[in-house]
Amino acid sequence: MAGMNSLQVSRAVVGSPRASRVRRWSAVVLLVAAAVSVAPGWWVQVAVSAARSAGRFWPAVVLTLVAVALVVGGRRRTVTMTLGRRPRAPRIPLSFHVALLLGAAVVVTGVVGLLLWGVLGGPPGASGWSVRDRLDAVKVVLAVVGGVGAVVALAVAYRRQRLNEVEAYREDAKVLLDRFGKAAELLGAPDAAVRTAGVYALAALANDAPEGRQGCIDVLCAYLRQPYAPAMHDLLPDRGDPATVSRDPGQERQVRLAVVRLIRDNLHLPDHDPRTWRGHDFDFTGAVFDGGDFAGATFAGAGIVTFTEATIIGQLSFAGATFAGGTVSFDGARFVEGGIALNGARFSGGVVDLSRIDPAQPPTTPELWPSGTPTPAGLRLPPPQATTPQEG
């Protein structure tokens, strides 16, 4: 258990903590009750005065409530999760739930009665009850009995609705897990066309289920980290692997380029789009990039993008990309007849760290940033000798 502190778990697994709404509302009720119990007479006077003011200036009160409703209801809400917040099954027994609702109804009725009594000044004095008064009292009793039955029916219907929501959530989660498993199986198929279908299936799942998006991205990045023997594999003797050498290098390259292309396209989407992949982690540690195009992508948020010890063959393009947050690291990256294109890139808070690339295999690009142009604050270039291709 000593190593648990350093264990990093994907955000797709950890989720976010959620406080109990029942506990929050119970705490609020207890605090209000404590405040009222300090000076109950004063609170009654305040309530009576507020009720009389509301009755006197009811048009202003109504207009204020309508304005508040329009402001609250008109706020823009962005849907960020297909499944939504996971519903919870009722934890308290039905009898206790009904008793709690009845108690709350009695308290509310008593408070409203006291307010009406104070506002209206009480009923006219009478020494006894007439027949009409008794009939009215019977009507009130019948109304109370009907209200009690309605409360019980509402409690039962509410609990049934909650159970149905829990079951529906489980079914939706099961469907998404099935899609995830089938897409992952497609990535291991021997046919390149089937693997490409798996790549698109994972990308579609990531867009349909944002709460599991990081997991889908992790699988796509893991595919790029698999041993890869490109057509020029003689330059990469340590990449020979029986499972990958048997695949056609040209077809495998197209599958890997499709992964990069999908990542780029989803990084093009703006922040307000619920399908955007901005702000997520992309781990390309040790991956082989036989070309690749991240042109126009936007790297924003606190996401970690690492090309640590990656091998870059050909041109890896970041032309016109925007680095608005986070760090793109190339620590120990090797360039085998390859380079990086940063022409037109914009830096507005993000960092691209090229200062610790492998000096034995530097980029073949003549210059990583145009000479004569001020180097952006977010671009960390390697030492001058590391950018000069080695002879021999």
**pLDDT tens-digit profile of 218-252?**
999 999 999 988 865 455 545 445 444 457 888 99
Q: What's the mean pLDDT in 124-130? A: 54
Q: Is-above-0.75 flag for pTM?
A: no
Structural domain span for residue 42: 35-72
- Encoded tokens for 384: 């001058």
Mean pLDDT throughout 332-351?
90
Whether 62 and 210 share a structural domain = no
Residue appearing with tokens 């980290």:
225
CB 259 within 8 A of CB 199: yes
From its phi and psi, is residue 353 left (phi > 0), alpha (psi between -120 and 50) or beta? beta
Contact 201, 183 (CB under 8 A): yes
Strands 311-317 and 298-299: unpaired
Q: Structure tokens of 267?
A: 């990084």
> Is the predicted pLDDT of residue 132 greater than 80, yes or no?
no
Q: What is the mean pLDDT of residues 252-270?
A: 95
Spatial strand order in the sheet of 288-293: 288-293, 311-317, 334-341
pLDDT of residue 70: 60
Q: How far is Cα 176 from Cα 201, in angstroms, rounded to an integer?
A: 11
Alpha-carbon Rg for the chain, nearest whole angstrom, is 33
Q: Are residues 202 and 329 in the same domain?
A: yes
Residue 25 lies in a domain: no
In a domain, 248, yes or no: yes
53 and 200 co-located in one domain: no
Distance of CA 313 to the CA centre of its chain: 35
Instruction: Report how far residue 253's alpha carbon sits from residue 290's, in angstroms, rounded to the nearest whole number.
Output: 7
Number of structural domains found in the chain: 2
Max Cα–Cα distance, the chain, nearest Å: 117
Asked whether residue 107 is assigned to any structural domain, the reply reads no
Percentages of the chain per state (helix, strand, coil), in multiples of 5: 55, 10, 35
Dihedral in degrees, nearest 10, Cα atoms 358, 359, 362, 367? 120
What does residue 353 show for φ and ψ, rounded to 5 degrees?
-105, 105
For residue 220, the one-letter residue type is L
pLDDT tens for each residue of 46-90: 766 766 665 566 566 666 766 666 665 544 444 334 455 555 656
Please, are residues 346 and 369 in contact by the beta-carbon 8 Å criterion? no
Query: Does residue 99 lie within any of the structural domains?
Result: no
Residue 215 sits in the same domain as residue 351: yes
In a domain, 277, yes or no: yes
User: Among candidates 264, 313, 267, which has minimal Cα distance to 287?
Assistant: 313
Task: Select from 22, 56, 72 the last residue of a domain.
Answer: 72
Mean pLDDT of all residues in the chain?
A: 75
Say if 225 falls within a structural domain: yes
The least confident of 2-16, 30-44, 69-83, 359-373 is 2-16
Residue 376 domain flag: yes
At 81, list the tokens: 């999760």
Same domain, 236 and 366: yes
Domain boundary among 43, 72, 101: 72
Name the nearest CA neighbour of 298 among 268, 319, 327, 318: 268
Least confident window among 45-54, 311-320, 364-373: 45-54
pLDDT given for residue 203 in this prediction:
94
Q: What is the pLDDT of residue 229?
A: 80
How confident is the model over 32-51, as pLDDT tens digits?
777 777 777 777 677 667 66
Mean pLDDT, residues 273-298 taken together: 93
Please indicate, yes or no, whether residues 62 and 192 belong to a single structural domain of this protein: no
Residue 42 lies in a domain: yes
pLDDT at 154: 75
